[in-house]
Amino acid sequence: MRILFFLFIFLLSEAFATTFVPIPLKEMIKSSSAMVEGEVLFSRVELLENNEIVTVTTLELNKWRGIKGKKTIEVYTPGGTLGEETLLVEGSPNFKEGEKIFLFLKEFNSHYWVSNLSLGTYRFKNLGSHKMLVNSVFPYHPEIGQILPQKLYSLAERVKNVKFEKKPRDKYQIMRESLKTTKKNSMRKIASTDNEEVENKVGGHTNIYWLLAILTLIGAFWTFKKQRE
């Protein structure tokens, strides 16, 4: 079983240890058992039945394909520290609580493992005005480094011929989105009112200047007229 475990870990990454080779997105999609988008809740380290140390990360799912509808999923990665014993696996991804990620997964012994280790891990990043999925190993690769989420989902749905499932919005999320929209509209209204007030002030000052100029001209005209007389 121990040999089978390490063979599986090797197959998870087609280039084990510190060397990775880019794998086309279509190939990663085809070879995956599941694909998930979610937010990292927490991680723990445990010992499997074969005495191998693994890290188990719980995700709150937003979108998924290849698994039955769930709110959360446990994702396994090799390695971690348990007590005084540490198993270090080069290329195994680490996840931070609260970060949003997209993972390609493989199912093995009723567990979901990150496919190709860090190569099968994408993180959400704000790049300019776009929110992108960025590969953890090759962030600047022209083909797999950065991709719009919807583009990746569309490609996966075409390749697998199965649509992604989405987490339904609860009433609290709807309320939060409504409050955000109301706040934005209020800020726009305030900004518009401020602009109008500035324009009115400028317009008022302009009218006063014209009135003063006209009165000055009239005064100069009468003075000139009296001098002529």
Query: In which element (H, E) is residue 210 found?
Result: helix 171-228
The pTM of this model reads: 0.70
Upper half-sphere CA count for residue 179 (Cβ side, 13 Å): 6
Give the per-residue pLDDT at 111.
94
Per-residue pLDDT of the chain (229 residues; tens, 9 = 90+): 554 544 444 455 443 445 789 999 999 999 999 999 999 999 999 999 888 999 999 999 999 999 887 799 999 999 999 999 999 998 999 999 999 999 999 999 889 999 999 999 999 999 999 999 999 999 999 999 999 999 999 999 999 998 999 988 666 556 666 676 676 666 666 666 656 665 555 555 556 666 666 767 666 665 655 566 5
Q: Count other C-beta atoms under 10 Å from residue 79's C-beta.
A: 20
Give the per-residue pLDDT at 17.
46
Give the per-residue pLDDT at 14.
45
Give the per-residue pLDDT at 47.
94
- Could you tell me whether strands 111-114 and 100-108 are parallel, antiparallel, or unpaired per DSSP bridges? antiparallel
- Could you tell me whether strands 100-108 and 34-47 are parallel, antiparallel, or unpaired per DSSP bridges? antiparallel
